[in-house]
Amino acid sequence: MRVSVPDESWQNVLADLPVDVIVWDGRAPQPEGRIDLAVWPYTLDPSDMAAVDASRIGLIQGQSLGYDGVAAVLSAGGRYANAVDVHEDSTAELAVALLLAAVRDLDVFGAQQAQGLWRKSWTTSLLDRRVMLLGVGGIGRRVAARLDGFGCEIVRVGSRARDDEHGHVHGTDELADLLTTVDAVVVAVPLTPDTEGIVDAEFLARLRDGAIVVNVARGRTAVTEAVPAEAGRVRYASDVFDPEPLPDGHPLWSAPGVIITPHIGGMTSAMAPRIQAVVRGQVERLLAGQEPADVVVDHRDAPGS
């Protein structure tokens, strides 16, 4: 069995398994022959996959949870698995950090520190606040768990209304009315045709004065141009943007009440052991003749495969 890894740091991860490990960073020419599993570099955009002959790779294992754009570029015969249980906890951690930073004006106090100013002011709190969780999947569930104990009311919104072990989930068809009732929204939806641009001018306009939007989903879930018009009335703390990187001189850089992090939700010390466990699990499944886990794009039946 032949496995490609993005760099030398992976060599010891699979050293005890009966596999032939080669290094391929996704940018260099594709190695000759068949690769049974290729670990796709975390830093490469899915568009770089367009140059890959996926029919000669049994499975491409991504290191990201999101996989928007992969289906459009993966060639016939290819399969792609996303990285489940790798980034969810760290992204949820950042979502709560951004929410707390916005609630307690930590960006304001940080700016004061840079100027050597000791200036007290009252802030809001999560206590007694109503927080909408827009998206109840892997990241959303972990955000909800971390908010438990902060003394806020959680309003969960998913693609459809339903009840589960944690209570009621509202459907997105109720979103317009619900937005007028909440003090904060954490956006943690996958990027789909239904969620693209969901945070638009109408969404923001329906929020109360002083409300907070935290976005840890995908950049295209928000209409970036709509945010500056509401900045100051509504606070916006986001790890994801459209486009990325956010260009020099973009209005968001200087908009009041905006907190920006450069898409680093999963970039923590927790990532390496988790993605390594995912890859080892896939290799062990393939060695045992089993189907790989978490395949989200499968073009084996596509024309030309």
- Sorted by sequence, the CB contacts under 8 Å of residue 303 that are 6+ apart come out as 76
The answer to whether residue 87 is catalytic is: no
Question: Nearest CA to 8 among 30, 41, 46?
Answer: 41
CA distances to 21, 22, 47, 279, 294 from 10, in Å: 9, 10, 23, 10, 21
197-230 residues labelled b (16+ CB within 10 A) or e (exposed): bbbeeebbebbeeebbbbbbbbbbbbbbebbbeb
Residue 263 falls in the annotated catalytic set: yes
- Distance (Å, rounded) from C-alpha 93 to C-alpha 271? 13
Given 218, 220, 235, 274, which residue is catalytic?
Answer: 218
Which residues make beta-bridge pairs with 153? 130
Catalytic residue among 174, 225, 244, 284: 244
Cβ atoms of 169 and 144 closer than 8 Å? no
Calpha distance 285→289 (Å, rounded): 6
- Residue from 130, 208, 250, 263 carrying the catalytic annotation: 263
Amino acid letter, residue 300 = R
Amino acid type, 235: R
Contact (Cβ atoms closer than 8 angstroms) between residue 13 and residue 278: no
- Beta carbons within 8 Å of 284's beta carbon, 6+ residues apart: 17
Q: How would DSSP label each residue in 80-113?
A: EE--TTTSHHHHHHHHHHHHHHHHTTHHHHHHHH
Active site includes 218? yes
Q: Catalytic positions, please? A: 218, 244, 263
